[in-house]
Structure 1
Amino acid sequence: MEWLLIIAALIGWLIYRGSRTRKANARAAAERSTSSGILRERKGYSAIQAVSKVRTFNARSPTSHSRAPARWVAKGEAVKVGGFTVPGGMFYLGGILPGQSNGSCGNCVVDPEAKAASSGEDREGRTMPYWPSYQSISPVARRTFLSWLASGRDDPSIGIGYVFLYFYGLERRMFVDQAKQDSPALIAEVRRLLAVYGDNGSFRGYASKFLDAAELVKGAEIFRPALRPDIRNGYEMPLSVRLHLGKKLAAKQPLDDTDALLWLLSLPDTYLRTPANRCFDELTELWASRFTARYPDGLKLNAPKTRLKLDYRAASGGFEGRIDISDGTVSLPDIAAISAPLDGLRDMLNACTEELAPYSRLLGRNPAAKGTIEATFLLPPELLASPTAMGTALLTRIEQMFGDRKVAGVRVTQLAKALSLDVEAGGKLPSGLCNQIGAFLDRIDVGMEPDRRYGSRNLKADGYVLLFRAPGGAKVDADAPAYVAAKAMVDVAVLAAAADGNIEATEYESIKAEIRAMPGLGGIERARLIAYASTLLKDAPGQQGALNKMKQLAKPAREAVARSATAAILADGHAGPDEVKFLERLYRTLGFPAEGVYATLHRGSVVIDEPVAVASEQRAPGIRIPPPPVEAGPVQGVKIDHDRLERLRSETAAVSDLLAGIFVEEPPAPAPEQVAPADVGGNVTRFPGLDAAHSALLGRLLAGDGLDRAELDDIAKDLRLLPDGAIERINDWGFDRFDEALIEEDDRVTIPDHLREALREVEAAE
């Protein structure tokens, strides 16, 4: 028995010795791989220094150790394998990989000795294991893989396992073989694959990390990646973002708006909502505006102690490594270790996204709406003049109207065409649309007249509109007494100038001079009044209609107009020839004899007892004004009775109500019966603060249980309203009244139940 024990011990010792030898060989092979692998320190790259350790994995042993090693098929080389001619190269072909005696990483080699089926296919890769290798997959799967290689490698319907099998070879060539001459082609090929198969999250993650590491290996300069909504990469920040931001942190530079958004979007837990994805360009512009307002000097961060490293794990499972990164002088800090300001940035991003939601919904229903006036009304104020949001074509069309001038007189149809609006020929534009056009022009610093928001008439499709450059569109207080009085005087002056049907340039200049001389007005008010006068003089057909209306006024009303004009002229203490001519024309328009002008001038005013006191030695040429019936005395300069002037202004303002009846357009026709419910009854004040069209639309929503979106669009069109603009207008009114929006949009457009009773109370109160 002893000899049996001796033999057993000897066999055990031999087995143990052989095991030690195999482990030593394996370690030597690993060390050879490490010393020659791509992830070791590379000299000559000023931007990056890398130190790594490669770990090899066990793989199936080759069937024969006598086979020739596998080789890399160069790009553009065609080979025959498995019954296919495969052009393009860029894969490993043959047996054992160099330096891999145990067959590790053999999963990327196309082995000609592994049989491919002569027919059939497995396009979805159902028979493939999680980590496939060419040798381990079925003959049918091999045939499918070779067919895909031979046919361009761009079929998006192929199973992602085949793409990974091909990717394994690209990965090894880049990082293990260190084929520097092939680096540009390898990077380009992975970018191409990413464009075709990037919808697969797993492949997108591995391919993106490949590109990050490849750029490091190439020694490329650090650059700022482009902003894009899908920059987020798996479960960690993209290395390109961390490199760029790490470099800024190392240099103690603050983050600008693009840096901050890049940081936020690249975080694994940032998920963009539909408005942000659909309207990404608008989002970046809005973000830039809000970020700059909050951080005018940029976002300043303290660099963390954590240093930036790259852990690379091959998709094939065949190797891994770590790269310590620097900018050539110091190691870079890792911004992934900072979290303090992220909550505030996320809140700002969410707010921007929410403000773009109405605009996004419109584009979702109608992508062609981008750049239209309807879309611009749904944008946040910061984007209203943005070429990105509005479309450069629209702004260009407006600019072309001006040329190199500050004023542009155009037909309303021309303006409507520039704004991509359809208007009916010969008809009047609805009040709501006129207001929207004016509001849009305000936002690009353009004023217009006539502008009904400031007391003018509605635009007519075949009418004339004057555009003029002015900050904010030349907003004025149309109810200010000085403006009301001045506008009334312009109305009278223009009516008189047009009385004979022949308006001369001197008459227009005279009216402009009167506007400039009117007290209590600022530059913006004067500019708008001059524009208003220009449109009245230009649009002769509409002006004649106003003249005819004035002729039909009762005699007391016509006398009031005459008194107002005379009082305004006498306010400066004299009447020049042009002013006398003006009054003569006005009197003829009102149906009074022209001789009455002279009697009125000599009396000073038909309603004022005392004449205006003027110094005789400074009288201007024209009709002589009698001196006041008091003792004469030396008078220096022009003496103005301010109490009298105040009464004159009051009288001028009083007659403006009369003129308003002349210049206000006819009430809009009642809404079509199928649009407005019977109980509307044409009452334009059904909901105070809304015009007739918006009131009718709100009434229709209130009358039923809601409307389909298409039905609401049709009703709005019949009312000549822009659907989304109308909803926004009604909701704004709702916020003013009830502190919440009235209209909710889901499957149907509805009014919340708790607001219906409140609306009916408002309606009943009227």
Structure 2
Amino acid sequence: MGWVLAGLVLAAWFFYRAAKNKERSVQPTPSREFASTSSSSVVGDLSEVRAREAWIDPRINPDPRFTNGPDQRDRGLLAPSPPSRDRLSTIRNPARWIPPGETVRIGGISIDAGMFYLGGAFTGSISDRGNNCLVDPSCAIAPSGSDQSGSLLPYWPSYSNIPPVARRTYLDWLASGREDPRIGIGYVFLFFYGLERRMLVDAVKDETPALIAEVRRLLALHGENHSFRNYASKFLDVAELVKDPEISRPVLSPDLRNGYEMPLSVRLHLGRKLASATSFDGTDALLWVLSLPDTYLRTPATRCFDELAELWQMRFASRYPLGLKVNPPKTKLKIEYHAASGGFECSLDLSDSETGPLPDIAAISAPLDGLRDLLNACTDELASYSRLLGKSPEAKGTIEAAFLLPKELLTSPSVMGTAVLGNVEHLFGGRNIAGVRVGQLATALGVDTPPKGKLPSGFCNQVGAFMDKLDVGFEPDRRYGARNLDADGYVLLFKAKDGAPVDGEAPSYASAKAMVEVAALAAASDGKIEISEFESIKSDIRSVPGLGGIERARLMAYASTLLKDAPARQSAMQRLRSVKPEARDSAIRSATSAVLADGHAAPDEVKFLERLYKTLGYPVEDLYSALHRGSVVLDEPIAVTPEIRAGGVPIPAEASASKASGIRIDRARLERIKSETSAVSQLLAGIFVEDEPLSPPPAPMEATLRGDSRFEGLDAAHAELLSCLLGAGELGRDAFEDVARKLRLLPDGAIETINEWGFDKFDEPILDGEEHIVVVEHVRVELQRAGAER
């Protein structure tokens, strides 16, 4: 009985469950609102869509965020596709292109900038990605809010599947003319998808220039984004080819590198070169290396790109005088365009009408190591120049900047242009030699100098280095032992390769230089220069052993400047003391020969030679003997020794000049020297040709004797200057020059005058020093003693 009751209860329970299930099956499913105009409901809507979305096996349809290279890091997560729209509404509202100037109103926002698609769907489109650029007016738009950063956008944004707030942000951006550089890059991509479609799917060729211009504008605003720059650059490559199928050489630019592929324009140009078996010139080679994906230009190359391109051409021509021969690869150039939207692909026919299919330069790597090395070498040569421009951009075009450049670039319009070179050439006046004032040279170089005084050593060195690069030498050049240039002094320019460099510290050159200084002083001691005197100095320079042609040429130029602006007499003699005895002998002979060259010896010339002999410790009697052996006419008698006549002494036969002088001439050596320096001699043959005759020195002031017996023979001004020196003990150069100018005296001339007076009184100079002018100690003591005894 119990089992029967249990069976009845179990049966009743089954009937009850069946009735409840039937009741549930007939209840209607509540409808859900997917689109909403409220931004607050977006998150809820997306969560419901995710709950209803069917599961997709990722092995069959992988998530594109993890299959499309490095660009996924540039955008947000992929949002799910919304429910499919009513196909009837799509047919009633087909997509159309909105050109610039046509005003449309979407969700209360007026847009007249155009250049986008408007409508439900593209006719015949079966891919959601094909519609991603389409602005569908039926999609909800948030009444307010903004997502300027683009954080709400998925990896592949599509207008129909972004949140309403994002749609409003996008439409506001379109309405404002797409000018805001701060807009999220996803919105830029969404707009770019439409330009891609218009160019390559609709193929409206007459709009190509406007589409190219718009992409270039966007690239200027948003090019810092690597992903957009990569896609936009590829688009421009293809668009330029669509606009003009003719292959031409691209313009050199530091920005040729285009993502992970060489630019199409470069591949086409170099492909045609390969197909025609034509050697690459310098521009072709630079295009190739600059467009490689792994080429990264350093700062000197980008900051000084014009200079880099010019230097590259010179270095390339030197390394590859016949051009660079490159063997074409078997790989042919094929271009398939993959749209950034992922909605379409297209292929381009790249066959040349003359050569057929083009080889692909991207498949070649053999000669690239050499080109990279050449590029690095050119960059290194511009490093110091680049650092200067980085600190002082205004220095471009100055001598300071040009000093840091390779000499080949000085004619470059990007450096200094031809103006400076033309100015320097004008100074020569069609000759190889030019004697000008320092102020004229400074004006030609475009630099400012003070009206008077010594120019700084650094400035003199820079001018010298710059002139070297112009293949122009000059004297006096302090780099080779001469004094600094005087602002109002004289300079001799002469054309010579690399500026005629010499070793200014070589013993032979230093000795010859000291000889030239003394000989020039001797020739100029009477206040006028004869051409024969200068020719004598040049002859002595040619006979100095151990000198090459360049050294002799520079010494001749230096001698010419000394005859214009004589050096300080005392310093020249001091330098002569430091050379070897044989060099001093040569200097003595050269100075004597210079004086005797014109056939007579003026009293001032003889007086100078007397002091020279005394200073160097040579017997003055040797000078008188040399003067008589030279058979010169003396302007006044010189008492050598009392005349003693003795009868019965036969007159010896007249000795030859060479024997009497004690100098034996080596004719073979002389001919060898002449042959060695023939080119230099021709260059300097007219070195003494003057545009204007040398002006005689001003007449000396009438001596006004001072009552002080210590300074008898000095005029009042020089006596006052010497008295000031005695009282001070010593004066710095600047202080000495100030005192001299107040007394209306030229500083260097005053030193010479006082030292000449010293020779007359004490047989030696009494002033010494360069930076500090002092009275020689024992002379100072003697002058002070004479004053005390007065």
Distance 1:639 1:482, change over 3 A: farther
Matched residue, 2:388: 362
Give the counterpart letter for 2:569 in structure 1.
A
Matched residue, 1:118: 143
Is 1:644 matched with 2:673?
A: no
Q: How do 1:417-436 residues align onto structure 2 when only pairs under 5 Å count?
A: 426-436=452-462
Give the counterpart letter for 1:193 in structure 2.
L
Distance 1:363 1:602, change over 3 A: same
Matched residue, 2:467: 441
Distance 1:595 1:93, change over 3 A: same
Give the counterpart letter for 1:215 in structure 2.
E
TM-score by length of 1: 0.63
1:241 Cα deviation after fit: 0.8
Matched residue, 1:142: 167
Distance 1:377 1:268, change over 3 A: same
Distance 1:588 1:669, change over 3 A: closer
Q: 2:538 aligns with which of 515, 518, 540?
A: 515
1:135 Cα deviation after fit: 1.9
3-state secondary structure, aligned to 2:491:
strand
CA–CA distance in structure 2, aligned partners of residues 548 and 239 of structure 1: 71
Matched residue, 2:605: 586
Give me the CA root mean square deviation: 4.3
Q: How do 1:290-369 residues align onto structure 2 when only pairs under 5 Å count?
A: 290-328=315-353, 329-369=355-395
Is 1:183 matched with 2:208?
A: yes
CA–CA distance in structure 2, aligned partners of residues 127 and 174 of structure 1: 28
3-state secondary structure, aligned to 1:287:
helix
CA–CA distance in structure 1, aligned partners of residues 651 and 126 of structure 2: 125
Is 1:450 matched with 2:476?
A: yes
1:367 Cα deviation after fit: 2.6
CA–CA distance in structure 1, aligned partners of residues 310 and 414 of structure 2: 8
CA–CA distance in structure 1, aligned partners of residues 181 and 513 of structure 2: 69
CA–CA distance in structure 2, aligned partners of residues 495 and 438 of structure 1: 25
Matched residue, 1:710: none
Matched residue, 1:714: none
Matched residue, 1:722: none
Matched residue, 1:35: none
CA–CA distance in structure 1, aligned partners of residues 515 and 604 of structure 2: 15
1:332 Cα deviation after fit: 0.1
1:428 Cα deviation after fit: 3.0
CA–CA distance in structure 2, aligned partners of residues 291 and 194 of structure 1: 33
Deviations, residues 96-148 of structure 1 (Å, cap 9, x unaligned): 22332665521112222223333322111111111112222222222222222
Deviations, residues 316-351 of structure 1 (Å, cap 9, x unaligned): 111012224111141000011111122222233233
Task: Judge conservation of contact 1:60–1:102 (CA < 8 Å) in 2.
Answer: no
CA–CA distance in structure 1, aligned partners of residues 330 and 210 of structure 2: 37
Matched residue, 1:215: 240
Larger relative contact order (CA 8 Å, sep ≥ 6): 1
CA–CA distance in structure 1, aligned partners of residues 594 and 651 of structure 2: 17
1:358 Cα deviation after fit: 3.1
CA–CA distance in structure 2, aligned partners of residues 469 and 73 of structure 1: 70
Task: Judge conservation of contact 1:385–1:444 (CA < 8 Å) in 2.
Answer: no
Matched residue, 1:652: none
Matched residue, 2:102: 77
Task: Judge conservation of contact 1:311–1:320 (CA < 8 Å) in 2.
Answer: yes
Is 1:257 matched with 2:282?
A: yes
Give the counterpart letter for 2:125 in structure 1.
Q
Give the counterpart letter for 1:644 in structure 2.
R
1:247 Cα deviation after fit: 0.5
Q: How do 1:580-619 residues align onto structure 2 when only pairs under 5 Å count?
A: 580-581=600-601, 584-590=603-609, 600-604=626-630
Give the counterpart letter for 2:542 in structure 1.
P
Is 1:237 matched with 2:262?
A: yes
3-state secondary structure, aligned to 1:448:
strand
Larger deviation: 337-346 or 596-605?
A: 596-605
Larger Rg, first or second structure (1 or 2):
2
1:217 Cα deviation after fit: 2.5
Matched residue, 1:164: 189
Task: Judge conservation of contact 2:520–2:591 (CA < 8 Å) in 1.
Answer: no
Q: 1:375 aligns with which of 387, 394, 401?
A: 401
1:302 Cα deviation after fit: 1.0
Larger deviation: 340-349 or 507-516?
A: 507-516
CA–CA distance in structure 2, aligned partners of residues 435 and 372 of structure 1: 15
Q: Percent identity?
A: 61
CA–CA distance in structure 1, aligned partners of residues 122 and 176 of structure 2: 26
Larger deviation: 277-286 or 296-305?
A: 277-286
1:251 Cα deviation after fit: 0.5
Unaligned runs of 5+ in 2: 1-80, 613-619, 633-649, 670-730, 734-790
1:270 Cα deviation after fit: 1.6
1:173 Cα deviation after fit: 0.7
Unaligned runs of 5+ in 1: 1-57, 607-626, 650-667, 671-766
Task: Judge conservation of contact 2:519–2:591 (CA < 8 Å) in 1.
Answer: no
Distance 1:481 1:234, change over 3 A: closer
Task: Judge conservation of contact 1:85–1:150 (CA < 8 Å) in 2.
Answer: yes
Q: How do 1:527-606 residues align onto structure 2 when only pairs under 5 Å count?
A: 528-539=554-565, 543=567, 545-546=568-569, 563-565=588-590, 568=593, 578-581=598-601, 584-590=603-609, 600-604=626-630
Matched residue, 1:3: none
TM-score by length of 2: 0.62
CA–CA distance in structure 1, aligned partners of residues 660 and 165 of structure 2: 107
Distance 1:362 1:154, change over 3 A: same
1:223 Cα deviation after fit: 1.2
CA–CA distance in structure 1, aligned partners of residues 477 and 575 of structure 2: 26
1:305 Cα deviation after fit: 0.6
CA–CA distance in structure 2, aligned partners of residues 380 and 395 of structure 1: 15
1:585 Cα deviation after fit: 4.1
Deviations, residues 31-85 of structure 1 (Å, cap 9, x unaligned): xxxxxxxxxxxxxxxxxxxxxxxxxxx9985442342212112233333333333
Distance 1:430 1:101, change over 3 A: closer
Distance 1:195 1:436, change over 3 A: same
